[in-house]
A = this chain, B = another copy of it.
Amino acid sequence: MIQVIKGNFIFTKEKESFEVCENSFMVVDNGVIVSLSKNLSEQYDRVTIEDFGDRLIIPGFVDLHLHASQWPNRGVGYDEELLPWLNKYTFPLEATFKNLEIADQHYSSFIQNLINVGTTRACIFATRHLEATRLLISKLKDSGIGAFVGKVNMDRNADESLVENTKDSINETLDLINEDLSNPDPLVHYMLTPRFVPSVTPELMTELGKMAEKYDLPIQSHLDENLDEIAWVNRLHPTIPSFAQVYEHFHLLRSYKTIMAHCIHMTDEEIRLLKDRHIYIAHCVASNSNLSSGIMPLRKYLDNDMLIGLGSDIAGGHTLDMRENMVLTIQASKLYYTTHHEYKPISLSEAFYLATKGGGSFFGKVGSFEKGYEFDALVIEDNPSDESVIRRLERFIYTGTPENIVRRYVRGKRMEKQ
C-alpha cells in the first residue's frame, strides 16, 4: 500500500543538526519510506494525499527502558534511594500483579498513556508473573505500538511474595519464548529481562545466557545505577572484576541486542566492554535524579560513539513523556557541564536524536525519515506563527503537551488513542 503524506517534516539524520523539509511530500510503501521531497512524482497522482498543512511531522518517540507494572507508582517515594525504594514501594506493587484483574487495570492505563504521550516504540519490563506478562504482551499487540517486552526474571533477594523458584522462572520464560516464536507478531517481540544482578542467581543467569544464544534473543537489564547497588554486586560476585563483567560472564552482553539501563558509574574498563560489545545504553535521567543516583556522563559516551537512547524508567522516572525526558536530559547535561567543562552540554538536536533515531536503531531502521526507514511519526499541531519550524519544535519539546499530538503512525499504520 502506498501512502503520501504532506507537511513540515523534521528529523535528525545526524545528531548534530535537524533536517527540515517544509511543505514536502513523503511517499511510504508498506510502512517504509520511499521518498521525501518538495515535489511529488506523477506516478502517485492517483494516491490521496494526507495533507497536514502547516503542522509539524516528526519521528515517533522511542522509550528504551521502562517498567509497565510500576505505572501506578510514578511520583511516589522519591525521598528514598534505589535499594530501599525498591523494597518499600516497587516490590510490594509488583507482587500485586499475581492478580490478573489488577494487572489488567494497570496495564490498560499504562498503554493508553504510552500512546497518548507519543511513544511509538518501547522496551518494557513486565513483572515476574507469567499470566500478567502474557496479558501485557497481548494488550501491546492490540495497541499498534512497537515493543520488546519481557517477563522479569528474579530468583533471589526479594520478598517471598515476589521471588521466583529458579526452575519456574526458566520454564515460564521458555513458555513465553515459544509462544512468541509460534505466533510471531510484526511489532511486539519477546525480550529476556533479568531484573539486575542482585535479583538473579548464577544458575538462572547461566540458563538465560543459553536461551539468548539458542533463540537469538534481545536482553534488557540494569547496570551501575547506584553506588550501594554496585557494592552489593561486588559482594555477590567477588571474583568478577566489575558489574558489567558479571553480565559478560553469563553471556548476557549480546552485540546490538542488549540494553543496559542507567550506566552512571561505569569504570573505564566497563565503558570499553560496552563499547566493544555494541551494548545499548538507556539514559534514564528523570529516574537518576529522583532516586539521587547521579548524572550519567552522556557527553563522554556520545564522544565515544556508544549506542544510546532515552528511557523514561517509569516509575523511578515520574514522567512517561519523552518530551519531558529530553528536557531533563539537556538540563542534566548542562549541570554536569558546570562542574565538568570538558563535556559540553547536550544540544536540542542531540536530545531529539537520542529520543528518536538513537533509541530507534535498536528496532532496526526506526526513528528517522531517511529512505528505507519505517514510517513511525507524530503530527504536531501548535499555534502556527511566523517562527521557523525548528523554533516551533523547540517550543513543543519545552512547553507542549500530549494534546499537541494529533496523529500517530507506527510503520505507516495509524495508531489510535484508546
Q: Are B76 and A394 interface neighbours, CB within 8 A?
A: yes
Q: Does A330 belong to the interface (CB within 8 Å)? A: yes
User: B residues within 8 A CB of A47?
Assistant: none
User: B residues within 8 A CB of A79?
Assistant: 345, 347-348
Q: Does A167 belong to the interface (CB within 8 Å)? A: no
Partner of A399, one of B74, B294, B332: B74
Q: Does A337 belong to the interface (CB within 8 Å)? A: yes
The count of chain A contact residues (Cβ–Cβ below 8 Å) is 34
Q: Does A335 belong to the interface (CB within 8 Å)? A: yes
Q: Does A75 belong to the interface (CB within 8 Å)? A: yes
Q: Are B397 and A335 interface neighbours, CB within 8 A?
A: no
The complex is assembled from copies of this chain, and their number is 2
Q: Does A156 belong to the interface (CB within 8 Å)? A: no
Q: Does A404 belong to the interface (CB within 8 Å)? A: no
Name the CB-closest residue of B to A295.
B335
A contact patch SS:
helix
Q: 1/0 per position for A13-26, CB-CB distance to B under 8 A?
A: 00000000000000
Q: Are B292 and A337 interface neighbours, CB within 8 A?
A: yes
User: B residues within 8 A CB of A291?
Assistant: 334
A338-B295, A347-B79, A394-B76 as given contacts; A290 in contact with B331, CB under 8 Å: yes
List CB contacts (< 8 Å) of A379-399 with chain B. Answer: 391, 394-395, 397-399
Partner of A318, one of B327, B335, B345: B327
Q: Are B398 and A78 interface neighbours, CB within 8 A?
A: yes
Name the CB-closest residue of B to A293.
B338
Q: Does A239 belong to the interface (CB within 8 Å)? A: no
Q: 1/0 per position for A314-348, CB-CB distance to B under 8 A?
A: 00001100000001101110110111000001011
Roughly how many angstroms separate A385 CA and B297 CA in the complex, as a whole number?
A: 40
Q: Does A289 belong to the interface (CB within 8 Å)? A: yes
Roughly how many angstroms separate A328 CA and B339 CA in the complex, as a whole number?
A: 18
Partner of A289, one of B334, B348, B391: B334
Q: Are B398 and A74 interface neighbours, CB within 8 A?
A: yes
A76-B395, A79-B348, A292-B345 known; 9 other A-B pairs, CB under 8 Å? A74-B398, A74-B399, A79-B347, A292-B337, A293-B338, A294-B335, A318-B399, A319-B399, A335-B335
Roughly how many angstroms separate A347 CA and B334 CA in the complex, as a whole number?
A: 23
Name the CB-closest residue of B to A385.
B72
User: B residues within 8 A CB of A345?
Assistant: 79, 292
Q: Which of A75, A319, A335 gathers most chain B CB within 10 Å?
A: A335
A76-B395, A327-B318, A345-B292 as given contacts; A332 in contact with B334, CB under 8 Å: no
User: B residues within 8 A CB of A318?
Assistant: 327, 398-399
User: B residues within 8 A CB of A75?
Assistant: 394-395, 397-399
Q: Are B338 and A294 interface neighbours, CB within 8 A?
A: yes
Roughly how many angstroms separate A319 CA and B338 CA in the complex, as a whole number?
A: 22
Q: Are A334 and B394 interface neighbours, CB within 8 A?
A: no
Roughly how many angstroms separate A319 CA and B319 CA in the complex, as a whole number?
A: 15
User: B residues within 8 A CB of A286?
Assistant: 331
**A and B contact pairs by CB, cutoff 8 A, 17 listed:** A74-B395, A75-B398, A76-B394, A78-B330, A78-B348, A78-B398, A79-B348, A289-B334, A290-B331, A290-B334, A291-B334, A295-B338, A318-B327, A318-B399, A328-B331, A332-B335, A339-B339
A76-B394, A394-B75 as given contacts; A334 in contact with B399, CB under 8 Å: no
Roughly how many angstroms separate A331 CA and B332 CA in the complex, as a whole number?
A: 10
Roughly how many angstroms separate A295 CA and B337 CA in the complex, as a whole number?
A: 11
User: B residues within 8 A CB of A295?
Assistant: 335, 338
Roughly how many angstroms separate A94 CA and B159 CA in the complex, as a whole number?
A: 59
A242, chain B: closest CB distance, angstroms? 20
